[in-house]
Structure 1
Amino acid sequence: MSNTGKVKIYNGNIITPYRTIANGTIVIEDGIIKQVGSANVEVPGALEIDAKGLTISPGFIDLHVHGGGGHSFLDGSVNAFLKAAELHAMHGTTSMYPTALSGDKEELYKNLGVYERANKENTMGAQFLGVFLEGPYYSMEQKGAQNPKYIRNADPEEYKEILSRSPMIKRWDSAPEREGGIEFIRYLKSKGVLPSMGHTSAVYEDVLQAFENGCTLATHLYSGMTGVIRKHSFRFAGGVESAFLIDEMNVEVIADGKHLPPSLLKLIYRTKGPDRIALVTDSIRAAGMPDGEESILGSLENGIKVIVEDGVAKLPDRTSFAGSVATTDRLVRNMVNLAGAPLCDAVRMASITPANIMGVSDTKGSLVPGKDADIVIFNDNVEIAKTIVKGRVVYDKEK
């Protein structure tokens, strides 16, 4: 199905930003939502899609994703981008930000070029909205599965050169307490790139200064950051507590049921609320692949070997998780089943909230007239029946 002409989706329960419309109808024209309502209106010449009483939801937006289906966004091939995007579309993701790890700079440059080519050819997967650079200006103590040989202080000459290479870099992560960290955040902000904090040993004073200078997002809360620490017998609030204390700080949550137990998912949900939480997969190439196999975090050439067991990726010595193997449908399902969030809030954390965080909510994140027709249809267990990207059906379970 192309995204030209008219499409009518009917006989489903539509989740809008503030309500659910029972037995609702959505009319799409040229990939844009034209009508949303309860009446099953006649649309002459439209392709009709019967939702069969299922939920019609905004498409999910993944801010932090490294790959899937056996492919990584650092593999250096257009095919890897396209196949990973198709895998995640099968699970409800309609937009994503391909994510790069701390690594070789020349490898990064190569993959920025590959991204631009893949973006033009991507017709059957989740849409690419830009690139997220995760590292390398991190805390060595909180590196997690990041390769330590690449960890370093922010280098103005280096990051200015990198940013000059591509206008598609939309977000960059760092540890704000490192030397030059605040200057780096200011520069990102001046260039319209979202600064976020992650893999950090920052305490509250560091985080507050970073927030004041434009760092408004905490990467995978709890993972790769300190909780309360002690220095010379005195306690200090770490990055986790800082994200809770600063009301306006947005947070990523890997709700795969492995990185965080139900108790912490509940705590984050109750403390930050659905308007400050973005559900992210942080998935590596092993997403959508069987458990019990070895995989690679990062590129095939320079990546780190990991094992996949218990529904999560781990370093071979099992000292740290190494990214997730989750898909967005699992995140939404877990926030309902493990955290006790209403379905509408779980969907919100996977759609309009990430859209707001990245400044794309004028076209993405909710089912209202004038926005892109990014839509998922799923059952009561958040199992995806159809995924639609800008009016095009890219996944249909029945086919």
Structure 2
Amino acid sequence: MPSPAPAPLISLTWTDHVTGTVGYLVVDRLVRGVSSGGLRMRKGCTLAEVTGLARGMTMKEALHFDPDGPPSRYVPLGGAKGGIDCDPRDPAAHGVLVRFLRAVRPYVENVWTTGEDLGLSQDLVDRAAAEAGLVSTVQAVHPLLDDETAARRRLADAFGVTVGGIGLDGLVGGCGVAESALAALDREGVAYSGTRVSVQGFGTMGGATARFLSEAGLTVVAVADVLGTIADPAGLDVEALLAARDAYGVIDRGTLRPGCQELPADAWLGAEAEILVPAAVSYAVDAVNQAAVRARWVVEAANMPVLPEAEALLAGRGITVLPDVVVNSATNAWWWWTLFGDIGPDAEEAFRHTRRSMRALVDHVLERAAAEGCTPRAAAHALVAERLPVMAERFGWYA
């Protein structure tokens, strides 16, 4: 039984004086005085959720730190997370976001680097940050850069890159998730052709994951958004669905081609597919509904989508969960690879680096899980437990 995670360094609750909306900031850990983690907005967001997400960010940073690996300009940061209990579609949401960022401005300026997460696009976060008087949502890391001007220009240029109508920043995370799934298939000797995929959530992460898996030759048979599940056993036209979604990942049903079935919202879970990709909300798979899962792999593109008791039951049925702290970590890492200068503002370079890094990480975790007879999550946790003390010794918490 793993020991409980230590209490976070900072945990605060904010109440909006205008609407009464509640928001949270949790800094789990610092490395060189800085932490990293996105800001989400969803109705029902809780302090416990944000605390768990912040701990997950600490793990993601540690997993991308290889003390024996090749030299890298990117030095891992600590983990943090922000969350606001508000529907992002609420007309008052933007004002709430601005006031939250204004309230936590000292943390963003000094210790917390942040960006888009569930319910928020980077453009929305950037606009709100500017209104709140912030230079950048990652300005806390600026003192760690060799050349701040060049680094900021490099990241801005990278955010201006599009591929197939989608921004590079909206694709790298899905590229990492897809590569994680492909690594699992390769390890088992499963051909891509004929392998079916069901995706919950068609926003940034879900949509990009579906694109990359489809491009690799897999068949996406089901996609779920807030309106329900769209399915076609013969395979969905992923590019057409991407073109038909709005800013919140909701697909225009009027564009669906003949043969597409409109099913209930939870139908994605029991789809006839080998790979299941929860890419929306946390806590999507619980001890009850896990019984509907028929897939061989559950690939966690979302943060904390599978509850621990559900994962244990899935493992008992021979279903492997590839954990979020591994497979969805590429978005965060891409920011830092680009800002610190390991890669430039180029899509193909970003995808190559993402695939290479994620393949090495997933292979390492799966090999350790096989050798120790444990789940991939337990293997990832063990790896983090080994790396965190090395990070602390080498870089310091507050240095």
TM-score (ref. length: structure 2): 0.34
Bigger relative contact order, structure 1 or 2, given CA contacts below 8 A and separation 6+?
1
Bigger proportion of residues as helix: 2
Query: TM-score w.r.t. structure 1 length?
Result: 0.34
Give the number of the structure whose residues are more often strand, by fraction: 1
